[in-house]
Amino acid sequence: MAKLKAVHYINQFYAGIGGETMADIGLSVLEEKKGPAIGLEKLWRDEMTVEKIIVCGDNFINDDNNFQSVLPEIKKIIEEVNPDVFVAGPAFNAGRYGVACAKVCDFVRRELGVPSVTGMWHENPAVDMYIRDNYIVSTRETAAGMSKSLPAVAALALKLAKREPIGPARIEGYLPTGHRYNEYHEKIAALRATEMLLAKLNNKPYVTEVPLRGFEAVPPAPKVDDLKTATIALVTTGGLVPVGNPDKIRQAFATDFGRYDMTGLDALKKGVYESIHGGYDTTYASNDPHRLIPLDQMRVLEKEGKIGGTYKYFFATCGVGTNIESSKDMGRRMVEELMSEEVKAAILTST
Amino acid sequence: MGIPNALITGFTSIAYNVGANRIIFGGNFTSPAGDPDLPLDREKAYRYKILTKALEALSQDVSGPTIFTVDESKEGDK
């Protein structure tokens, strides 16, 4: 059987071109084996060889325009070699190198259909950006851990090249992608759950089948000093929009929000507004929109002098299946408008 | 730094676990600022109490996720 073929990506440093001062250098191809490729080939024994090594400076490739400009070159190299797998790095905890490795892997896998793998420290910023659809093997923090880190990269690369089925992250050594697959198990779920519970109660180790996602902590904003003069905004993730949904806000997986003028209104009437949220029974919300945007009682609080005012627009989106990046983006855009309009606080209802 | 936000929700444990900082326990999950089981006037009074609680949360500093509960039973007078 013919040997399997790999193409390897490294930066200027591992190619022996230079360190930081050479980080602006453009893309080139090494014909001789240098850097981690030597170690990878040893680990692959006679099964796979590195056919070509692509080198690019970390600063150069992290510039978006430059990146776009080198993609045709990368495509040409990949099409010439027709490799069984593409390997980048490992990048350890080097931020720019990590992003370069991950984005090149992402491109080669997605656009050219070649399985790809890179490796890096789990806190490398590239992990959050690219982990969802890419194999990123967990490595040590610095290049001093090269010999300890390379075997897992080599092993996964070989498996990918052979088109063997790839097992779960904790067994193959890549960082969890968040993808979940069905598999048959000799024990039913109730039994496995009970065993986990017993292990937990007895302080014994166990491995969850449904890992919870970690959420980044947001520091609390300081309080409002004087409510009596403060304008307050109303926001909802409960999907309240004018009937007919003029902005075509998505009922699920929303990436945008609507802003609707309440100037001169004392109430939001049924039949004028409705909830288009795709994740709960919206009957009650559509029957009385104040259950999502409590304008009626805000007007009472205004008249009583307890608050300065209610911001003239309410913001609405649908919070169902909404990913964190979209949510952060919407939140940033909302707060940008609110702060520029001197709004002091928000009240957000969530269904 | 942004502006403070009071989150009114029927699912306080979810809000707490994802790290919302000022959480107000609302009516129920389909009607966070209300309660469809109440007659209209009492629901309005209840909504007023929820908002009053939200204002209370906005006018104090918190060190991390904090749950504010509307006093007494769900309904009540102004």
| pLDDT band at B78; cut points 50, 70, 90 | very low
Smallest CA-to-CA distance from A289 within A231, A230, A346, A239 is with A239
Q: DSSP of B22-60, one letter per residue?
A: EEEE-SBTTBTT--TTS-HHHHHHHHHHHHHHHHHHHTS
Residues in B touching A292 (Cβ below 8 Å) = 31-33
Residue B41 lies in a domain: yes
**CB proximity A343 to B under 8 Å:** yes
In this predicted structure, what is the pLDDT of residue A325? 82
In this predicted structure, what is the pLDDT of residue B72? 54
CA distance readout (Å), A180 to A55, A177, A185: 34, 9, 15
The residue range of the domain holding B29 is 6-68
Task: Calculate how close chain B gets to A238, using CA atoms only, in Å.
Answer: 8
In this predicted structure, what is the pLDDT of residue A80? 95
**CB proximity A181 to B under 8 Å:** no
**CB proximity B16 to A under 8 Å:** no
Nearest CA in chain A to B40: A288
Nearest to A224 among B2, B52, B58 (CB): B58
Quick check: B75 pLDDT over 70? no
The ipTM, to two decimals, is 0.93
**CB proximity A56 to B under 8 Å:** no
Residues in B touching A284 (Cβ below 8 Å) = 30-31, 34, 36
A143-157, A269-283, A315-329: the lowest-pLDDT one: A315-329
Report the pLDDT averaged over residues A224-231.
Answer: 97
Structure tokens, A32? 């001789």
**CB proximity A227 to B under 8 Å:** yes
Residue A29 φ/ψ, nearest 5 degrees: -125, 130
**CB proximity B2 to A under 8 Å:** yes
Task: Calculate how close chain A gets to B72, using CA atoms only, in Å.
Answer: 19
Residue B30 lies in a domain: yes
In this predicted structure, what is the pLDDT of residue B76? 42
A-B CB pairs within 8 A amount to: 134
CB contact under 8 A, A339 and B3: yes
**CB proximity B50 to A under 8 Å:** yes
d(CA A87, CA A110): 14
d(CA A13, CA A21): 10
Task: Calculate how close chain A gets to B71, using CA atoms only, in Å.
Answer: 18
Per-domain residue ranges of chain A: 4-172, 227-349
Count of Cβ atoms closer than 10 Å to residue A341 Cβ: 12
CB contact under 8 A, B27 and A291: yes
Number of domains in chain B: 1
Quick check: A1 pLDDT over 80? no
In this predicted structure, what is the pLDDT of residue A213? 66
CB contact under 8 A, A349 and B32: yes
d(CA A91, CA A139): 8
In this predicted structure, what is the pLDDT of residue A45? 93
DSSP state of A133: G
Nearest CA in chain A to B24: A349
Note whether A347 and A316 are within 8 A (CB).
no
Residue B45 lies in a domain: yes
Report the pLDDT averaged over residues A217-228.
Answer: 94
CB contact under 8 A, B3 and A221: yes
d(CA B55, CA A111): 52
Residue B76 lies in a domain: no
Residue B78 lies in a domain: no
First to last CA, chain A: 59
Residue A65 φ/ψ, nearest 5 degrees: -65, -45
Smallest CA-to-CA distance from B42 within B7, B73, B67 is with B73
Superfamily in which the A4-172 domain is placed by CATH: Response regulator (3.40.50.2300)
CB contact under 8 A, A220 and B33: no
CA torsion angle A90 A94 A97 A98 (round to 10): 60
C-alpha torsion sign, points A149, A152, A155, A161: negative
d(CA B15, CA A345): 18
Residue B61 lies in a domain: yes
Q: Quickly tell me which residue has 């009583």 as its tokens.
A: A304
CB contact under 8 A, B7 and A345: no
Structure tokens, A136? 């990123």
Q: Name beta bridge partners: B25.
A: B9
DSSP state of A117: E
DSSP state of A123: T
Nearest CA in chain A to B29: A351
C-alpha torsion sign, points A213, A217, A218, A221: positive
| pLDDT band at A199; cut points 50, 70, 90 | very high
For B31-73, the pLDDT digits (tens) are 999 999 999 999 999 999 999 999 999 999 999 999 999 865 5
Quick check: B77 pLDDT over 60? no
